[in-house]
Amino acid sequence: MASLEVAAAGSLTAEEVLDRVGGRRDGLGAEEAADRLRSAGPNAVRSHRARALPVLVRQLRSPLLILLAVTAVASFFVGERADALIIGAILAASVGLGFGNEYRAEKAAEALHAQISHQCVVLRDGHPCSIDVTRLVPGDVIMLQLGEVVPADVRLVATVGLECDESVLTGESQPAAKSTDPVLAGSPLAELACCALMGTVVRAGSGTGVVVATGRRAEFGRIALGLGEHHPQTEFQLGLGRFSMLLVWVAGALTGGIFAVNLILRRPVLDALLFSLAIAVGISPQLLPAVVSTSLAAGTRRLARRKVLVKRLVCIEDLGDVEVLFTDKTGTLTEGRISFMRSLGSDGRAAEAPLLLGLLCNEAVVEGGLAAGGNALDVALWDSPAAALQQQALAGYRRLATLPFDHERQAVSVLLRTPDDGHLIITKGAPERMLERCADVPAAIRTALDAEFAAGNRVVAIATRSTPADQSTLTAADERDLTLRGLLVFSDPPKTTARHALARLAGLGVTVKVVTGDNPVVAAKVCADLGLPAGRVVTGADIDAGDDDRLEKLITETTVFARVSPEHKARIVRAQRRTGVDVAFLGDGVNDALALHAADVGISVESATDVAKDAADVLLLEKDLDVLADGVAEGRRIFANTMKYVLMGTSSNFGNMFSAAGASLFLGFLPMLPSQILLNNLLYDSSQLAIPTDTVDPEQVARPTRWDVGFIRRFMLTFGPISSLFDFATFGVMLWIFHAGAPLFRSGWFVESLATQTLVIFAIRTRRIPFIRSHPSVPLLLAALGAATAGALLPATPLAHALGFRPLPGLFFLTLAGMVAGYLLLIEIGKRWFYRTAPAVPETRPRVPGHRVHRRAARFAIPTPGDDPGPKT
């Protein structure tokens, strides 16, 4: 067995390719496929296993941290061994704290990926079966259907109107028509008409092919490998980066200034450098990645329990930004359990003939009496009790050709040989399009059709035309001059939980709009039944009649878009985004892929087509808007808790480090030793790791809040000085009341600074009055009080001497209590003034390019790492 480059396979006949890869038209045997999998490796381009080493490297890549460690090592060798060992131990504990939390988050992401699988249909021992795409091997024969992502590089051996969207590889926007005829040797990818390429999408028709290359040997695998494992950053990650850079600049300015001043004051160079670097580390958001990762991992677990899976952890926060949700009607507003109700003849009365014709013109695969594949209406028709009564009549027909359903024609056709050896075309599809194709439409059938639409029922029209006996193929041109034979009526009642879910989303500030290919009257009826005012119903024809500016105006006037094409859906989403709001799209069909990619957040369901699942950021195991509301609230809760850490770092923490810098200018000694600054920072950061568990006020999840570095900078410049004010008050108390020397001074300020910067979280975490109108979570309460208590006790422990502390007099703690109370009171006053004058949240968020290949590559991933999971020769 050997893999074969797809370009080479394209120049060979199908039989030659089968021979080269050791395949057969009826597929491989199960044991033979298992042997090939062991030798070739999985059909994967990357792994998603959590690995400890990269997480550890991320903790150590801070230049400040590295420089501080190097300086501590230098101080060890010049005689200051105790201080160096203490600094090293504190740095190790800080790194370990971040590593432990981030690694647990990575493990949560690994568990998330393990719940998402992608299947394909392959022939094994001559029978079709469904397997995971990563288990494909060269020589396998696979079946391709509408909406599927091609799971490997394939040489086609049979096609029926097959077209593939290859834009992910070639950049061509138009689907490529496929055949089985070989191409010239050396043809480029875009001209391999006899091959289907890994990662491309079946946009029309169906086909069968033999796998020639898998994993990283496939063309798509090589491209994905070239992009690396790193995904493009989301706006959430970019916001974190902008905030970190703000503090890096602040830390750099303070560090350089402090170091220069201490040199001017003729203090020891090594001591000055250690002190300056410790200040920089104290300001740097060292545990921000751990806090964010912990929040996202906890949110992921909560959502997974509610049957919501996110492709990447940061997608949860993106979900919280959503302000407008476009969704299909079926399965979200309706039960999604479509059932066949009745068939009506061309006179509008009950008749069995349309049912028989509907079963003959059907794309569902029936195996052992059970229907699968095809669309939901086809499956519902076969599953109806009435279908069982037609089995004898069906036996006399033989299908000669099929023209599969597509969203442009909105119809499917078959060519049959009838029991009397005649040839008959049966076409089934959307009633409006079918009536246009019929030579004559009785008034009775129009009346019956209007009545069914008004009742909210789904309707399919069916028509026929006799054809010459020598016809053996079908094209769209054959769907003309038809005779209308009747209607097939289906029921899909409104979902009982939808009204409550819509109310929840409205309470979260999310506007729900319906985008459907169904009839306008039916869509409006379902919305009205659920209390969702439809306004003016906009159709695809309305969209075509105007430009994008006109569409933006239509969007403000309607809740329902009906009889729209895939291109219409994408235009609607893009037009809504141009109004300055974040847009989510919920869809599960191949016709939804364009809109899923155009949205800020793409949402699909486990039962969706491959292309819809690949285009989505979020996957619902149940198609339920109530679950989606949970996701939106969770995303906003995570962002709110992340901002608590950010605002803490830019208020009291920044104020304390600024105070240390200022005090070093007028004191005859360092206000706090480098090891004490780092220990202070470690205790503070440890308490902040409980922030992800904190409760969030309802108004904080009522609307999205985006990153605004300007807002953070204003917060820092407002509350940082308040913190410094009380630090300088502490300096005065220690120098003029307690007449403290260097060790006692450092002990007093260590205790005061740690108490103020940990306890202020109770004021900063809410815009309400803390403990009266807003209560923190128990873990956060215990963590903050624990850190402050530990800091207060340290000067009285046996470790005090080694750490450079001295026991504090009892009067100091009474003074401390008064200062902490005064500090929190002043913070409350400042908080009320600040939020009254705070500017509005920014309204725009750009879509980060380059996400399409990474989204699709995720389907070809395995849970274990390897140097090369691709095929081996």
- The residues assigned a catalytic role are 328
Instruction: Count Cβ atoms below 10 Å from residue 460 Cβ, excluding itself.
Output: 25
Q: 758 by DSSP, 3-state: which?
A: helix
Q: Which residues contact 725 (CB under 8 A, 6 or more apart)?
A: 826
Note whether 437 and 464 are within 8 A (CB).
no
Q: Which residue has tokens 């109004």?
A: 579
Residue type, position 293, single letter: S
| Of the candidates 528, 521, 602, 536, the residue with the CA atom closest to the CA atom of residue 569 | 602
Burial (CB count <10 Å: 0-12, 13-18, 19+), residue 343: buried
* Angstrom distance (rounded) from CA 497 to CA 839: 38
Q: In 667-777, which residue ranges form alpha helices assigned H by DSSP?
A: 674-688, 698-701, 709-732, 742-759, 761-764
How far is Cα of residue 846 from the mean position of the Cα atoms in its chain? 16
11, with CB counted inside 10 A (0-12, 13-18, 19+), is: middle
The β-bridge partners of 461 are: 429, 487
Q: At residue 546, what are phi and psi to the nearest 5 degrees?
A: -135, 170
Closest among 119, 98, 160, 152 to 415, alpha carbons compared: 160
Please give the Cα distance from 624 to 748 (Å, whole number): 56
Q: Looking at 115-218, list the stretches that DSSP marks H as alpha helix, in order from N- to C-terminal side.
A: 167-170
Distance CA 754, CA 196 (A): 63
What tokens were used for 700? Answer: 């904080």
Q: How far apart are CA 526 and CA 520, in angstroms?
A: 10
In Å, how far are 209, 455, 593, 625 from 332, measured between CA atoms?
36, 19, 17, 6
> What 3-state class would DSSP assign to 98?
helix
Ramachandran angles phi, psi of 846, nearest 5°: -75, 145
3-class SS letters over 193-248: CCEECCCCEEEEEEEEEEEEECHHHCHHHHHHHHHCCCCCCCHHHHHHHHHHHHHH
Q: What's the Cα-to-Cα distance from 596 to each of 231, 513, 570, 622, 869, rounded to whole Å?
A: 18, 15, 8, 18, 30
CA distance 651 to 724: 9
Helices 674-688 and 742-759 cross at an angle (nearest 10°) of: 20
Q: Is 52 in contact with 103 (CB distance < 8 Å)? A: yes
In whole angstroms, give the CA distance from residue 576 to residue 583. 7
Comparing CA positions, the residue from 153, 112, 107 lying closest to residue 4 is 153
For 228, counting Cβ atoms within 10 Å of its Cβ (0-12 exposed, 13-18 middle, 19+ buried), the class is exposed
